A and B are shown apart, each in its own frame.
Chain A
């Protein structure tokens, strides 16, 4: 019996190890590329750098435009845009998700279908109309314009996610608070929101990631280098003509590390937050 459970245990670890290798292998290649001096190392099976050099990091992270630290400005732009996107998306989606969870109203089904439908329409046709819209609002070449577009596009998914979370919170909780004299909004703020904290954190993380990784719209709407977000910079290193994969890899790591850190911080919420959620049509 013990031998059998030992064997099962070993097997479980073996499968998990294979999965971990599968998950990390491409990332290790990016790391190897980033630390290899000069151009890309030659082909071999193990992701080991061909030497150790920080030249790519120095070139990418130390990028200057005159006396301005352009990488620093672009990092700041990405952070501001992604954080503001997460904030605005949550601010819009949370009350709406609560309304959807607790009330019935005329047009609820239709508006839910419309929200779900936005997730199915490929964005390829929308970039020119969005450009014209931002132009009309005089928000081109601004971080605010980008935030507005990112945040609203994150709202439908966030709303479904949060509605699921609110559905899972018993109504008695806020009703008890309302019996004690709280307004519905007060009960929402003080009782419902704290209970939904994991789901809100995870939803905010998703919104943050959409903004943090988005390239096409940012490249279309921003035409000043001091306003660029980091994916635009990265794309420049991966272009067909003047590719510098070492720079690209170093930049890719710099871009990935903050999101990895957020995942690490939010790892517990990730599981419970997604559970309560569930995207229901």
Chain B
């Protein structure tokens, strides 16, 4: 036994040695760590500016760390409070309030007179929250109008209507103007033209007004008459504009690098809208700011670096090397920067834009608004009803956390429970029979204990702590008792089977699990039976090719399938077109969106069932079939009387496991349909993720979802037939 323990320890030690073997570089001088989520081209600008800073400060080394955009916010939220944050980080100004509310930021302090004079007051103002300046503006981004010189024939068109009028002279399949109509970020400019806002100063939803209705009605009209393409993703906008099938496109600076050199175009601020009393389309701008996290190890050096990045010298480097639209005013007088006409045009467009409101509720606008826009464009609701519904959802997502409850009762109950458990254990230990069986169990514990301890510590404990957070709510995570559960199970006072209600989503999840398992098992068994036929040639080759879906990471295939279901660019509609079928808007209806998710997950899951079945088939004794042949049984009888019953014991556990995995299959739903249309294809686990990461970081609420999922799954697996596998022994 000690020998075994020693071997295990040696194995563990060897494994950890392997992991430690790759050396980490030693820090030379003073190092400042800067985190950012830039793509490669913008990062190049940052690198150039940092190189200048390092030249001026030979004793300082700046370590730039790029983070994937999607993981950036949660990484900051984890790292800063535990003292693992950077010295400085760069993020968009609209996240400021949520960072401040979570106490993640250090007061930036007053700017030097030179910087104050050089930076536009509006941009500095956007980084001031509740009277405190939290950072220094580096660059800004907004949508702008790209106009193709060839298609517009050199004309400058002042209004949206002028562009829309072009469609009469354009060939079929060519659009007057393309933008991501489904996205609030892109379409908000039209709302602004009508004098509508989506969020007011107090952080209330403000689009459900007659002006908002008018803007959304105009958007629907533009799409309906073919001036603007429907269901336009960023990919489609790029594709239409670069192939000369859109006179104009509304997009950001990120489009420019994807356009071929042969395409001649210029960049302008957005047009006016005659129908809105000549109101100007004003997009949002976002301001990239250098922010100092709370507990920054070198706050003074970080401030110095931030100030340098924002200074004219740092800005010129960022503009020339990284095409950043820098905030510094005097940088634009630099001949190198000023001669970059396109960059100047983006700068003009960005200055004409409106900084996105800094309010903690801003994040909660996008989800409900996106859905309202899509619903109207699909013709499923009037602008008025859709915006009213969006307001309702917004209010639902931004509702205040439940009030603090007195935890005394819970603490007392917990103590009593622990005491009772302890008492029970000690009383059982007094029983000599129990003690004897414990002694008999000792050798077994030697084999299993290390695994139970490891799993208990690193798997069960974090899950249990996570489950505990379901009793807390709010940014400060105060104790609320069972309020989160109550809110979920009563749909927060709404209709119990209404939109996004737990019960409705549970129904979808069950449907999702059952259909998937049926297809997994059906296809898996079917293919395994074919591959098991001894007469089939190339069996090994088939088998190898058929397990390929298993070997590809699921997030890769989910994204590939999402692309294949794209309405205009996707391969599935291209295949259908070969057979003369009209293009399908896969994510516009529940049935088709669900089918798209299903196809993806069936693709991912059938190889596992096939391989399990193949294995189980080899263990069915041949003499059973020989006996059946003697009795003159037909092939069908042999299948239903011998093969399927014999497969059952081996398949049942695999099916149960597969059902649990499918029930919690977050990747596919999140990446393929993303819940579209209108959140109807969401399953429980993807709802939980949305509450945790996109709907105002309601971690406690998401944890309550997770606990409910757990309870349901435990209940279901208990209810399922439990069969001891007779054939497997």
Q: Mark A residues whose CB is within 8 Å of B.
A: 5, 9, 12-13, 15-16, 19-20, 22-27, 29-30, 38-40, 42-45, 47, 76-77, 80-81, 83-84, 87-88, 91-93, 95-96, 98-100, 102-108, 111, 114-122, 124-133, 135, 140-144, 147-149, 152-153, 155-156, 159, 164, 167-168, 183, 185, 188-189, 212-213, 215-216, 219-220, 223-226, 231-232, 234-236, 238-245, 248, 252, 255-256, 259-260, 262-264, 267, 270-276, 278-281
B595 shortest CB reach to chain A, Å: 14
Given A152-B454, A223-B65, A270 contacting B533 (CB threshold 8 A): no
- The answer to whether B78 and A220 have CB atoms under 8 Å apart is yes
Q: Which residue of A lies closest to B41 (CB)?
A: A242
Docked pose: A136 CA to B676 CA in angstroms: 40
Docked pose: A219 CA to B68 CA in angstroms: 8
14 chain-A/chain-B pairs, Cβ below 8 angstroms: A23-B549, A23-B607, A30-B552, A43-B568, A81-B19, A88-B11, A120-B664, A122-B664, A124-B702, A126-B466, A130-B462, A132-B465, A148-B458, A213-B553
- The answer to whether A121 and B710 have CB atoms under 8 Å apart is yes
Total number of residue pairs linking A and B with CB closer than 8 Å: 391
Chain B residues contacting A152 (CB-CB under 8 Å) are: 454-455, 457-459
Docked pose: A279 CA to B588 CA in angstroms: 39
- The answer to whether A45 and B578 have CB atoms under 8 Å apart is yes
Q: Mark B residues whose CB is within 8 Å of A.
A: 1, 3-4, 7-8, 11-12, 14-16, 18-20, 22, 24-25, 35, 37-40, 65-71, 74-75, 78-79, 82, 84, 86, 234-235, 238-239, 242-243, 254, 258, 260, 434, 437-438, 440-441, 443-448, 450-452, 454-455, 457-463, 465-467, 469-470, 523, 526-527, 530-531, 533, 535-536, 540, 542-557, 559-561, 563-564, 566, 568-571, 573-575, 577-578, 603, 607, 611-612, 614-616, 618-619, 649-650, 653-654, 656-657, 660, 664, 666, 685, 688-689, 692, 699, 702-703, 705-707, 709-710, 713-714, 717, 722, 724-725, 728-729
B513 shortest CB reach to chain A, Å: 12
From A30, A244, A278, B556 is in contact (CB under 8 Å) with A30
A190 shortest CB reach to chain B, Å: 13
- The answer to whether A149 and B78 have CB atoms under 8 Å apart is no
A201 shortest CB reach to chain B, Å: 14
Docked pose: A130 CA to B463 CA in angstroms: 9
- The answer to whether A118 and B441 have CB atoms under 8 Å apart is no
Docked pose: A278 CA to B458 CA in angstroms: 25
From A118, A131, A270, A281, B82 is in contact (CB under 8 Å) with A131
Given A125-B706, A223-B75, A45 contacting B575 (CB threshold 8 A): yes
Q: Which residue of B lies closest to A20 (CB)?
A: B545
Docked pose: A172 CA to B467 CA in angstroms: 45
- The answer to whether A185 and B1 have CB atoms under 8 Å apart is yes
Q: Which residue of A lies closest to B699 (CB)?
A: A128
- The answer to whether A103 and B443 have CB atoms under 8 Å apart is yes
Docked pose: A30 CA to B559 CA in angstroms: 10
- The answer to whether B67 and A124 have CB atoms under 8 Å apart is no
Majority SS at the chain B contact face = helix
Given A103-B447, A241-B254, A224 contacting B65 (CB threshold 8 A): yes
- The answer to whether B653 and A279 have CB atoms under 8 Å apart is yes
Residue of B3, B78, B543, B546 most packed against chain A (CB within 10 A):
B78
- The answer to whether A167 and B729 have CB atoms under 8 Å apart is yes
Docked pose: A61 CA to B670 CA in angstroms: 28
A267 shortest CB reach to chain B, Å: 6
- The answer to whether A167 and B68 have CB atoms under 8 Å apart is no
Docked pose: A275 CA to B11 CA in angstroms: 27
Chain B residues contacting A271 (CB-CB under 8 Å) are: 611, 614-615, 618
Residue of B71, B564, B703 most packed against chain A (CB within 10 A):
B71
- The answer to whether A118 and B447 have CB atoms under 8 Å apart is no
Docked pose: A92 CA to B8 CA in angstroms: 7
Given A87-B11, A106-B437, A120-B660, A16 contacting B574 (CB threshold 8 A): no
- The answer to whether A235 and B548 have CB atoms under 8 Å apart is no
Residue of B448, B545, B653 most packed against chain A (CB within 10 A):
B448
Chain B residues contacting A243 (CB-CB under 8 Å) are: 234
Q: Which residue of B lies closest to A157 (CB)?
A: B657
From B84, B447, B569, A95 is in contact (CB under 8 Å) with B447
- The answer to whether B12 and A91 have CB atoms under 8 Å apart is yes
- The answer to whether B615 and A29 have CB atoms under 8 Å apart is no
Docked pose: A281 CA to B653 CA in angstroms: 7
Docked pose: A141 CA to B445 CA in angstroms: 34
